[in-house]
Structure 1
Amino acid sequence: MSIRRTEDEPEVMLFFPPLVESSFGSLYPSTAVLAAWLRQHGFASVQRDLNSEFAEYLLTEENLARLAAGGVPGVARESLIAGCARWAARERDRLTDANGARLLGRTTEVGYVVEELAHPFLMDPDAAALAALTTRRRATHPLDFHRAFLEWADCERAVPDSVQLVGISVPMGPQLVPALLLAQTLKTARPDVRIVLGGPALSLMDLPALDGLLATHRAVDAAVRFDGEFPLLELARQVRAGEWLPGRVPGVSALVDGAVQHVRPGAGPALGSLPTPDYPAADVAKLAVRKLSVTQARGCYWGKCDYCDFVELYDGSPPFRGRRPEAVVADIEELTARYGIREFSFITESIPPAFARRVSRLIIDRGLDITWDSFAMVDRRFDRELLELMVQAGCRYLVIGMETMTTRVLELVHKSANRAENRRFLREARAAGMRLSVNLIPDLPSTTYQEALDSLADVEALADCLHTVSVFPFEPTRSSNIGRAPDRFGLIPVTDISAQSQAQYSLNHMSSVDPAMTVEERADVYARFRAFARRVNRRDGRGSAAPVASTLPELSPDASFRLITEDLDLVDRDGEMVCTHIIGKERIVIPRAAAVLLHPYLDGRGFSVGSLVERIGDTATRALLGNLLDAGMVRAV
C-alpha cells in the first residue's frame, strides 16, 4: 500500500556518519550528490552530517576535560592529544572565526587541533570491533564514546515521520562501526524504516565479509555496492510503493529468505546526467572555509597503479567516466549563485591534462572569479604552458601522488612517471607559479634502504618546488593488484594482522612483510622523510625556514624574549616541562634545571638574555633559546 505525501515532506534521509577527521570543516559531497539525484527523480530528502556534529561533540566542556586529564584510554596527560584539549579549553574563542563559524579543517591554522582530539575514537572495523556491536556491554572504548555521541545528538528522534528509507554513506573504513551503531539506534527508534548502507567501504569489502555483516547486523536492510544512484532510487521507489524487494535491484546485497544475496551491479549513471549537488544551505553557512566540491570524474584516466584500489569502485561501469568541462563549469556557476561560494575542489582521482586545459579556458573566457584545486598525477602533458594557464584560471594548488623518485620502483608498480619526469614536472610547476602538495610513500614494494635515501635526496634538492609534503607508509590492500599477487612485488603475505594499519580498515588490509628493508631501516627512513616534511611545511610564505640554533646571531644581554603562552601547552612531567606549540605542531622537553628558570615567565612576561646568562652561562642560554626559537615557542620583545 503506497502512502501519499506532500511535496515538502522528505521520504528519504541521508546520513554521513563519523569518523572522518580529514573532513572536519568541510562537506563531504556524497549525500549532496544523492540528494540532488533523488530530487531530480521526484523524491524529497533530508541530510544530516554527523561527522561535523562529532567535531562539535569533541569540543564540549566535559570531553575536553576528560582528554586534558588523560582520562581517555590511550591518552597520557603529557601527550599531544591532551595538550590540544587543554589548549582548546583555554582558547575556545580561537576555534571560531569572527562570523561564528567553527575553525575546523586542515586549511585553518588551528583546525588540526580537533583532528588530534578525534584520534582516540577512530575505530578500525576489524572482527573484534564488529563483534563488540552485538554485545550488551556498553563500556567498551571507543564504542561507548560513539554511543554517548548518538545520545548527545538525539539520533533516536532524528528521522522525520514522513521518512521511510534511510541511506548511510560510508566512504571511509573508520565510519563503518559508527554507521552500524547508528543503524541500530535508528532501527530501535523506527523499526518501520528501511536502512541502507553504501559507499567505498562497502564496495571494497570482499563478499564473505559482507555476508557476515548483513547476517549479523540485522538493523541494516541492504548494502549498495559501487555507484549508488540507481540502486538507491529503485529502493526508494519500492518503499514508496509499499514493497521491499532488494534482491531485484542491481548492485544491492541483502538478506533474502535467510541467505545473503548479492545482485551484480549494473552500469552507473552517465555523469553528464548528474544534477548540481544539493548541499544543505544551513551546513554551508557554518563553513569557515567556504569551499565546495564538484564532480570531475569517477575512476582514473590512468588506472594502472598496482597499489591503488580506487579503480575497483565502479564495477559494472567503465573504469573511467569523465564529465565535460562545460558541465563542471555549470555546476560551479550554479553553486556560486546558490551559496555565494567561490572556492572549489574537483572530485577526481587525477585531473586529465586535456580536461584541465579546456576547463581553464572556459573559466577564463567566462570571467569566473573563483579558485579551485584538484588531485593530479605527474604527466608529461602537464607542461609549463598548461600549468600557467591553470594558475591563471584560479587553480590554487594540485595534490600530487608522486610517491617516490626511484624509477625501478615506479615502473614496478606501473606509475605513469619516472624520476626524470618527476623532476621535470616539479621544476615546471615552480616556474609556472603552481603550488604543489606532494604525497610521498618512502617504502613502496621492494624499495631498498639506499633507494629510499636516494629518493629523499632527490626531493630535498627540489624542496623549493614543494608547498607542502605528506608522508604515508605503504599498506597493501586486498582489493588492489598488489593484494591479489603480492609475490610479483616482492611481498610475503603473513597471517598476523595485529599491527594497526594507517588505512584503519582491516577488512581490506593485506598483512605482509617486505624484506627489502629491515624494521630498523624502515623506521629510520620514515623518520628522515617526516623530518623533511616538517621542514617544508614549517616554511613561511616566502619559502624561508625558521631560524635554527646553529645560526642564532650574537645575543645582546639586554635582548628580551617571552614565551608565546597563548600558543603553548605547558605540562610538568616529574620536574621536566613538556612544551607543545599547538599552532606550530612542535614539542620539546625542557630539562628540570631550565624549567625552573622559566617558571616565573609562564604568564607571558618577558625575560632578558642577561638574566639567563647570569644563572646558566652563555652556552646553555644559547642552547635553550635556540631550541625554543626552533620550535617557535618564544618571541623577541
Structure 2
Amino acid sequence: MLYSPFLTQFLLSDWDPMTKNPSPILLMTPPMTQLNTPYPATAYLTGFLGMHSYHVEQRDPAIDLIHKLMSRPGLEEVFEEVCANYEDIPADDRPLAINFFIDHVDLYLKVADPALRFLQGQDPSLAMRIASRRFLPEGVGFSALHQMEELEGEHYLERSFGQVGTQDKAKYLASLFLDDLAQIIKLGIDPRFELSRYGERLAASNPSFDDLHDSIHGQETLVDDYLEDCVLGYLDEVQPTVVGLTVPFPGNVYGALRIAKTVKAWRQDCKVIMGGGFVNTELRSLKDPRVFEFIDYITVDDGERPLLCLLEHLAGERDESQLFRTYVLKDGQVSFIKSSKEHDIPHKDTGTPSYRGLPLHRYLSICEMPNPMQRIWSDGRWNKLTLAHGCYWSKCSFCDISLDYIERYDEAKADLIIDRMEQLMAETGQSGFHFVDEAAPPKVLFAMARRIIERGLSLTWWGNIRFERTFSPKMAELMAESGCVAVSGGLEVASDRLLKLMNKGVTVEQVARVTRALSDAGILVHAYLMYGFPSQTEQETIDALERVRQLFQEGCIQSAFWHRFAATIHSPVGQKPQDFGIELLPLPEINFASNDVDFIDPIACNHDQLGIGLKRALYNYMNGIGMEEPLHIWFDNQVPEPLVSPNLIAEALRSKL
C-alpha cells in the first residue's frame, strides 16, 4: 500500500483571539521514513493552513538526524560509543560489522562526508572514485552485492550499469555504504535504529503501551541525544506555541514520543498534537492515559477539520465538547470527542501542498539495487500529490476499506490538479510528481494526462493504479506522452480463484495484458504480491510464483515485492472471517494499538518457510537472473512442481484488452 492520502492529521496553534493571527505552529515528521524526499503530510497541512493565513513552519528531523549520525563528527562519536559498548566482548564474539568498522574506522571517517555530498548531488565528480571500488570500505552492508558477484562473476556491476553508467554505479555503492553505517549503529549503539523503521516493533499492533513507555523513560542512546539536539534547534529557532507530529507508520511512533518529551521539557505549555496513518489505523481503541504525558491532543482520520475545530477551541470560540474526532485526557481518562455537526473538508478545498521550510537540498538520492523500478521510491525527490481522497474501488477484502482514508471517495478535477502541479514546480523548481493515491482513478488520471499535453508541460510522474482493462495500449501511450514513467499496482496472490475471493476485480491474464501495454509504452511496472491469504495452499503459492516468473520473462513487469498477508480488524477478512473459512483468535485487552489479528486457517501450509523462497526468487528475477531455472531451486524445503502451463502468459498476451 502506498502513502495513504491525508495522513496529515495533526495540529493547531495557540493564538491570540483578539488579533486572529496564530502564533507559530511547527510541524514535524518523526524519524524514520524516506531519505530522498520529505514525507508529504506536513507539506499538505502547511499548504492548507496557509490558505487560512496561519504562520506555519515545518522541519524534517529524520534527514537532519542522518546527517548528524553519518557525517564525520557523528561517526567519531559513534566509534567511541561502539568501542565502549564492546570493550569487554572478545573480538571473536562481536558481530562482523562491528569488527570491520573498528578495523577500518579511519577510512570510514575519511569518506563519510564525501559520500553524503555525492548522494545529495553536490559532488558528482566523485562518482569515478566511488565506482572504482577503491574508495569506500565494503563492510557487511555490501553483502548482497558480494553474493551477486559470487553468483554472476566479478563483472556483475558492469553488466548491471554498463561501462558508462558511472554515476548510477557510484550511487548504488554509496547507498550500500549508508546501509552499512545503519547496521553499525543498530548493532553498536541502538537496536531500535533502522533507516526506515525506527523502533517499529515497539508500536506495531502492540495492545499495550508498556514497551513504548518504558523505552521513552529508559536510558537514552546517542541516537536519542542527536534527535533531541535537532528538535531543540528547531524549537529555539521557531519558538512555537504548538508542535504537530504526523505519525504515518509504526516506525515513527518512538521518534514522535521522543520529540514530544523534548518539547515538554523545553516548554511545558507548548501544545503537542499527534495524528497520521498509524493513529488512523491502530489507535482507534486508545485507552491508556500515559500516552498523554507528552501529547495534548490526538486527531483521527483527515486532519483539516479537526484542526480548525481545535483552533477555535484554543481561541475560546468552541467548547471542548464540540471538537471533531479528537482524543483528549479528561479527569485522568482518555475521551474521544466527535461532534456530529461537523464534516470533512472537500478534497478540492484542501489546497496545494507546500514544502516551504524543508531543506530540499539535504535529501539523499538512494539506489539500493540496480533494478530501475525499485529505485524510483528512493532515488530523486518527488513532489507529492493526491488525485482523489479514498479509493474508487474500495472492495478488496484484505484492505481496510471500512476506514475513512479508503472508504470516502472524493476526487479533484483535472484542471485543479494541473494548477497544483504548476504551483509546486514554481515553489520547488522540480518537475517530478508522485501521486500517492491508494489507486489513481482512471477517469481523472486520463483527463490529467490530456491536460498536461494540452498545456505543453514538461514533467515526470508516477503512481499507484489498479490493473484494470481501461489501461489499454492507447491509454498507456497517452500516459507516457504526458510524462508517466512508472506505475505500481496489486497482482496480489496471482491466482484467479483467490483474486475472486478477495474481490480484487481483475484476473491474472487481464493483469498480463495491462502490464504489457504499459511496458510497451515505456512505463516501468511494479507488482505488489501477497502470500498466505486464507485458504491459499502450497500448490497455489508455487503456481503464483510461476505466473510471476512468466510475467517477468514476457516483459510485463520489471519489479515486484511479496507481502505476507495479515488480517486486520478493519478489513472484510477481519470483520467477516467466516466468509473466508478462517477463525479469528481472540484479541488481548487493547489499551494502545490494535490492527492485525491472528487467525486459524484449516488449510495447513508453512507460509513463513515459503516466503523465504518467494523473496529469493523475486530478488533474482529483478536482477535479470534465474528466470529459466526450475522454481524449486529457490526453496530450502521440497516444494511441488507448478501446475501452470509454461505458456500461460504468452498465450494471454495474444488476446487484446
- TM-score class, shorter-chain normalisation, is 0.7 to 0.9
1:171 aligns with 2:243: no
Q: 1:101 to 1:76 in 2, by over 3 A?
A: farther
Contact 1:69/1:77 (<8 A) preserved: no
2:273 corresponds to which of 183, 196, 199: 196
1:221 corresponds to which of 296, 303, 319: 296
Larger Rg: 1
Residue type at the aligned position of 1:14: L
Residue matched to 2:353: 277
1:19 aligns with 2:32: yes
Runs of 4+ in 1 over 6 A off after TM superposition: 4-9, 66-70, 80-88, 546-549
Residue type at the aligned position of 1:211: K
Contact 1:246/1:253 (<8 A) preserved: no
Q: Distance in 1 between matches of 2:421 and 2:501?
A: 39
What displacement does 1:328 show? 1.2
What displacement does 1:340 show? 1.1
Q: Distance in 1 between matches of 2:200 and 2:123?
A: 28
What displacement does 1:31 show? 0.7
1:252 aligns with 2:329: no
Q: Distance in 1 between matches of 2:238 and 2:84?
A: 42
Gaps of 5+ in 2: 1-13, 128-167, 183-192, 366-379, 630-657
Q: Distance in 2 between matches of 1:243 and 1:115?
A: 50
1:131 aligns with 2:210: yes
1:236 corresponds to which of 311, 315, 321: 311
Residue matched to 1:50: 61
Residue type at the aligned position of 2:443: A
Q: Distance in 1 between matches of 2:524 and 2:99?
A: 30
Q: Distance in 2 between matches of 1:242 and 1:82?
A: 60
Residue type at the aligned position of 1:509: D
Residue matched to 1:96: 117
Normalization by structure 1: what TM-score? 0.73
Residue matched to 1:518: 605
What displacement does 1:405 show? 1.6
What displacement does 1:34 show? 0.8
What displacement does 1:56 show? 2.5
Residue matched to 1:152: 229
Q: 1:68 to 1:258 in 2, by over 3 A?
A: closer
What displacement does 1:307 show? 1.2
Residue type at the aligned position of 1:230: R
Residue type at the aligned position of 2:418: V
Residue matched to 2:390: 299
Contact 2:198/2:255 (<8 A) preserved: no
What displacement does 1:39 show? 1.5
Residue type at the aligned position of 2:416: A
Gaps of 5+ in 1: 498-504, 540-544, 550-637
2:579 corresponds to which of 488, 494, 499: 488
Q: Secondary structure at the match of 1:462?
A: helix
Moved more, 398-407 or 262-271: 262-271
Q: Distance in 2 between matches of 1:297 and 1:308?
A: 17
What displacement does 1:3 show? 3.4
Q: Distance in 1 between matches of 2:415 and 2:274?
A: 32
Residue matched to 1:502: none
What displacement does 1:353 show? 1.4
1:365 aligns with 2:454: yes
Q: How far does the alpha carbon of each residue in 1:473-512 deviate from its partner, in whole angstroms, 9 at most, with x for none? A: 1122222222223343233333699xxxxxxx96322123
Residue type at the aligned position of 1:11: P
Q: Distance in 1 between matches of 2:84 and 2:574?
A: 39
Q: 1:398 to 1:186 in 2, by over 3 A?
A: same
Q: Secondary structure at the match of 1:429?
A: helix
The CA RMSD measured in Å over matched residues stands at 3.8
For 1:518-597, list aligned pairs within 5 A: 518-519=605-606, 522-539=607-624, 545=625
Q: Distance in 2 between matches of 1:17 and 1:238?
A: 26
Q: Secondary structure at the match of 1:472?
A: strand
Q: Distance in 1 between matches of 2:623 and 2:259?
A: 40
Q: 1:335 to 1:411 in 2, by over 3 A?
A: same
Residue matched to 1:336: 425
Q: 1:438 to 1:65 in 2, by over 3 A?
A: farther
1:211 aligns with 2:298: no
Q: Distance in 2 between matches of 1:489 and 1:267?
A: 35
Contact 2:198/2:251 (<8 A) preserved: no
Contact 1:183/1:219 (<8 A) preserved: yes
Contact 1:296/1:322 (<8 A) preserved: yes
What displacement does 1:83 show? 7.9
Residue matched to 2:381: 290
Q: Secondary structure at the match of 2:209?
A: helix
For 1:388-537, list aligned pairs within 5 A: 388-463=477-552, 464-494=555-585, 507-519=594-606, 522-537=607-622
Residue matched to 1:185: 262
Moved more, 289-298 or 410-419: 289-298
Q: 1:426 to 1:83 in 2, by over 3 A?
A: farther
Q: Distance in 2 between matches of 1:529 and 1:51?
A: 32
Contact 1:391/1:433 (<8 A) preserved: yes
1:348 aligns with 2:432: no
Contact 1:68/1:82 (<8 A) preserved: no
Q: Secondary structure at the match of 1:253?
A: strand
Q: How far does the alpha carbon of each residue in 1:546-586 deviate from its partner, in whole angstroms, 9 at most, with x for none? A: 9999xxxxxxxxxxxxxxxxxxxxxxxxxxxxxxxxxxxxx
Q: 1:226 to 1:546 in 2, by over 3 A?
A: same
Q: 1:68 to 1:55 in 2, by over 3 A?
A: same
Q: 1:399 to 1:251 in 2, by over 3 A?
A: same
What displacement does 1:267 show? 2.6
Q: 1:170 to 1:494 in 2, by over 3 A?
A: same
Contact 2:59/2:234 (<8 A) preserved: no
Q: How far does the alpha carbon of each residue in 1:338-387 deviate from its partner, in whole angstroms, 9 at most, with x for none? A: 22111110120011111121111111111111100001111111111111
Q: Distance in 2 between matches of 1:494 and 1:182?
A: 35
Q: Secondary structure at the match of 1:24?
A: coil
Residue type at the aligned position of 2:50: R
Contact 2:493/2:531 (<8 A) preserved: yes
Q: Distance in 1 between matches of 2:98 and 2:570?
A: 34
Residue matched to 1:565: none
Contact 1:165/1:236 (<8 A) preserved: no
Q: How far does the alpha carbon of each residue in 1:225-267 deviate from its partner, in whole angstroms, 9 at most, with x for none? A: 111012112323433x367854321111111344322122643
Q: Secondary structure at the match of 1:267?
A: coil
